[in-house]
Amino acid sequence: MLHLGGSWRLPHLRALDGELAALREPLQEALAGPTGLVIDGSALQDIDTAAALLLLGALQEALADTRALSLQGFDERHARIVEVVRGRLADTAAGPAPRLMNMVAHFGQAFVGLGSLLHGHVEFLGRVLFALWRLALNPRTLRVHELFAQLGQVGVNAVPVVALVTFLIGVVMAYMLGIQAEKYGANIFVVDGVALGMTREFSPLIVATIMAGRSGAAFTAQLGTMKLTEETDAIRTLGLDPMQVLVLPRVLALAITLPLLVFVGNLAGIVGAMGMSSATLDITPQTFIERLHVALAPRHYVIGLAKAPVFALFIAVIGCRMGMSVSRDTRSIGINTTSTVVQGIVAVILLDAIFAVIFQELGL
């Protein structure tokens, strides 16, 4: 006979668990006895399903067939709760604990994941290029309205932040170069350094990085949300192609605006350097511009601008693809957006390094 008393409720589970553990041996003896075990609940104040489960689970562990237990003196409500739990006891048996992956498995999974990610990117890039080719064959399928909307968002609205950042970079470059150049009385060469560095490397790289964070993330979030709310599916069922309606306008918008923004960046950076030079290096704006004509060969400028559409293509393709591959939960939008920004920046820097090697080999 097991007498229950007091309040058998969720907040007291740990204490109850301890008491049941202490009773383990007498319980086993009682269960082995000829009369079996009778549970008396007449002194019970309250019992809830959690505590009932704890009790029945402990008895089950002590080898009792819980179906053969008899209840005695239980309040009607308490008996009902115990019966509800008893009927579901089999369902509560804990399954095997989830296997923890070791480091090697994690590493392998990450590696395979990276492989399939890149594979997906290449495939998506192929589909974008194919769609672009079809667009070239049939230009009337271009979504002009969406393209202009994107040009506004991706391009025009980005001008202030691009101009501000590159202006500041120009100021810093002129200042840092100036400190060194002044020691040798070579102030004027600051113009060479800033003009070359800004137009060929810094402006494209910085503007592309900003756009990877700004537009790449926006593409992923936009397309991901549309995927989640089944808008992309609606587009498909209406006989339209999400690639044409959503992806191409974004890719084209970024490919068109990124070179223009790099141009804005070049101007802002040079203006910043010019201001700094006239303030600290005694180079008047007039001298600065005259030197600029001599120092800045057009090819540097063109190389800088030429890199921009390639950066744009990769940023847009990564952004759109990560958006289109959002799964059905809200969490994956966050994960994919983060991933887009990281991938975009890595892609831009990697491409820039490849360009640097190529142009070096070509002697440009």
Partner 1 sequence: MTADDDVVIDVSGLATRFGTQTVHQDLDLQVRRGELVALIGGSGTGKSVLLREILGLQRPSAGSIRLLGTDMWNADAPALAATRKRFGMMFQEGALFSSLTVAANVATPLLEHTDTPPEFLPRLVNLRLSLAGLSPEVGGKMPAQLSGGMKKRAAIARALALEPEVLFLDEPTSGLDPITARAFDQLLAFLNSDLGLTVLVVTHDLDTLLSIARRIVVLGQGKVLADGTAEQVMQVDDPWIQSYFASRRAAPDASATATRSIADGT
Site residues for partner 1 per CB under 8 A: 9-11, 13-14, 17, 48-50, 53-54, 57, 77, 80-81, 84-85, 88, 91-95, 98, 327-332
CB-based contact 85:281 (threshold 8 Å): no
CA distance 225 to 198: 37
Nearer to partner 1, 13 or 149 (CB): 13
| Min dist. Cβ of residue 4 to partner 1 (A) | 17
145 or 328: CB nearest partner 1: 328
* Rounded distance between C-alpha atoms, residue 110 and residue 14, angstroms: 40
Does residue 351 contact residue 310 with C-beta atoms inside 8 Å? yes
Which of 14/140 has CB closer to partner 1?
14
Residue 150 CB, nearest distance to partner 1 (Å)? Answer: 29
Give the shortest CB-20-to-partner 1 separation in angstroms. 10
State in angstroms the smallest separation of the CB of 325 from partner 1.
Answer: 14
- Rg for the chain, CA atoms, rounded: 35
* Cβ proximity to partner 1, 16 vs 218, nearer residue: 16
Say how far apart CA 10 and CA 26 lie, in whole Å: 25
Q: How far is the CB of 7 from partner 1 (least distance, A)?
A: 12
Separation of alpha carbons 284 and 291, rounded Å:
11
Minimum distance, C-beta of residue 122 to partner 1, in the bound complex (Å) = 27
Nearer to partner 1, 54 or 251 (CB): 54
Q: Residue 360 Cβ, how far from partner 1 at the closest point, in Å?
A: 46
- Report the nearest approach of partner 1 to the CB of residue 218 (Å): 22
46 beta partners: 7
Exposed, middle or buried: residue 362 (CB in 10 Å: 0-12, 13-18, 19+)? exposed
Choice between 84 and 346, CB closer to partner 1: 84
Q: Which is nearer to partner 1, 31 or 53 (CB)?
A: 53
Residue closer to partner 1 by CB (options 83, 282) is 83
